[in-house]
Amino acid sequence: MSVKHAISRGLELGRSALQLGLLKSGGRFAAKLRADRLRVAPSSRAVQPQAFLPSRYRYYRTSLKGLAARLQSAGFGRRLGGGSPRNRAAFWAFGLGVGLIEQQLDDDRRSAATCDEIQAVFRKKKIQSSFKPCTSGYKLQDYIIGNQIGKGSNAAVYEAAAQLAPQKCSPPQLGEEEGETAPTLRTFPMAIKMMWNIGAGSSSEAIFKAMSQELVPAGPLALKREEEEITLDGYFGVLPKRVSAHPNVIRVSRAFTADVPLLPGAQEEYPDVLPARLNPAGLGNNRTLFLVMKNYPCTLRQYLKVSTPGHRQGSLMVLQLLEGVDHLCRQGVAHRDLKSDNVLLEFDSDGCPRLVITDFGCCLAQGDSDLRLPFNSTYVDKGGNASLMAPEVATAVPGRGVVIDYSKADAWAVGAISYEIFGQPNPFYRAVGLQSESFQEKQLPPLPSGVPADVQLVIRFLLRRNPSKRPSARVAANMLHLSLWGRKALVNQDSVGMRKLADWLLCQSAVVLLKGCGGPSGNKVEAELQRSFLSNLDLEDLRTAAGFLLYGRAQRQTCILSA
C-alpha cells in the first residue's frame, strides 16, 4: 500500500508542480505560440520547449516527453543503485506526471491555432459604411435641415437630408424600419450635430483642435484633405486617434466647419450659445463644427421609457454595449460618458434593438494614450457623468505620480446601465441613492428573477469595486456569448472541455458564414454579434470568461445547497 500511495502521490506532485510552473500562465503560452497554425499532418520537426519552459528546464531540448523519460530513467537508475522502494516509486511517478501534461500543451496549441484561424477569417470582413462614396457633402448648404431631434450640454442635433444630385451622392441605405418614425427617417435619413462654440474661436484650426474628440468616430473621408492637414498642424503632427467602423459605435460620415445658422428652436432652446449676430446677448462664436451621421429613431433612454425588452433581447442589448466598449478599448479609446442618453437605437429586420454608442465629447483618445491618465492636478478632467464613474475613477485623488486607469471604467458603466435595460432604476442615480465612491457590492439591488442567471452573474462581476477582480469588456462579452450560444460546449476548463469548445467554435463559424452569405439574416443583430465575437477570438480571454462563469455557477450552486 505504501508503494501504491507513493506512485499516486508522485503522479499528483509531478503534474501539479509542472502545472504551477508551466500551465498557470497557459494563456501566455498560447500568445507566444500564436504564429503557429494547425497542421493536417504531424510536423517532422520536434517541438522545442525552450520557448515556454522555465529556465531551469531549458537544457532539455526535446520535449516534455523527453524530460519525463529522463526522470523515469533516473528513477530506474536509482533502483539499481539502492534506495527505498517508496523513494524510487515517487521519483519514477514524478517523471510520469511530467509526461501527462504533454497532451494538454498540444491541446492548448491546437486551440490557440483554431482561434487564430477563425479570427483571421472574420477580421477580413469589413464593416460597410452607411454612406456610399461621394466627393461632396462638406458644406452646410449641401443638406436640407429639418426639426431638432436632440439636445445635450454642448450640441444640438437636427434631422437632415442630402441636397445633392443622385448621381453624385446618395443618402445612406437604412434597414427596414417599423413604427411611426419610419416615414420621418425615410425623408431625413441623416442627422447633423451642431457643436456649441463658446471659447474655441472662429478659425477652422482652432475649432478642430478644441473639438478633436468629436472626430474619434469619423470615417476616413469625413474631412476634406485640407481640413485633415489643419488638424495635423493644430496638433503639431500628432493626429488624435480614430476608431474603425463597428456596428455598435456611431460613424461620423462628414465633419466640417461653417457659420452658425439660425436653426428651428434655436432662440428658444439655446439662445445663450448663439453668436452675437443672431442674438445680441449670445456668447457663441460665428463658426462651429458640424458632424453628419446616420439618423436613429431614438435614444436608449427614450426607448426604455415606453418599452421593456424581453430577457433575451435585454441580454443581447447588454452584449452589444460590451462589444462596442471592447472595440473602443482595443483602439485605445475610453468613452468616459457612457449613459443611456448617449446610446442610440434602431431595429433590425426582426425587430431586435440595435444599439450604437455615440457622443465622444468627453472621451480619452490622445494619440499616445494607453487608457491611463496622469492625475496630478484637480484641473485634469476625469470625464463626464459623475453618477456612472467607475469607483477607481470617482475615488482618485490628484497627486504626484497618480494615474487613473480607464481600461475597465466603461465596462463598469455598462453594468449600471444594465439595470435600466431590465426595467429597474439605475442604482447609481439619485432615486436609488448609491454612490460609486462608497457603495458596497452587497448593497446592489436584485435584478428581476426572470433575468438569466448567467446574465445576472455578468452584471454583478462588472459592478465589482476592485478593477483587478472585474472582467474586461471583452471577457464579459465572451461570458455572454458562451451563455447564449455555447452552454453545451462549456463543461469545464480541462483539456477535454477546451477541445469541445474548439469544436463548437468551428461549428459556430460555419453557421455564421453560411447565414451571412447575402441572406436577409446578415443584417440581424444576433448575426452581427456572433461575427464580432469570432473576429475577436483569443484563447486566454475565452478561458478567463469560462473560468468566471464556472466560478459563478459553483458559488450559486453552493448557495442553493446551503439554503
- Point out the residues that are catalytic: 337
Please state, in angstroms and rounded to a whole number, the distance separating the CA atoms of residues 329 and 348: 26
b/e map 530-543, b = 16+ CB within 10 Å:
bbbbbebbbbbbbb
Residues 6+ apart with CB under 8 A from 288: 194, 195, 196, 197, 200, 207, 257, 258, 260
Distance in angstroms (rounded) separating the CA atoms of residues 489 and 384: 41
DSSP state of 309: -
Spatial separation of the C-alpha atoms in residues 209 and 27, rounded to whole Å: 41
As given in the structure block, the three cell numbers for residue 232 are 495635423
CB atoms within 10 A of CB 470: 22
Identity (one letter) of the amino acid at 12? Answer: E
Question: 481 CB contacts (<8 Å, ≥6 apart)?
Answer: 319, 529, 530, 533, 545
14, amino acid identity: G
**Alpha-carbon distances of 424 from 308, 309, 437, 444, 520, rounded to whole Å:** 10, 12, 21, 12, 34
Q: Which helix (H) or strand (E) holds 76?
A: helix 64-81
Cβ neighbors of 94 (< 8 A, separation 6 or more) are 10, 11, 13, 14, 17, 71, 75
State the Cα angle at 243 between 385 and 177, rounded to 5°.
80
Distance of alpha carbon 145 from alpha carbon 270, whole angstroms: 17
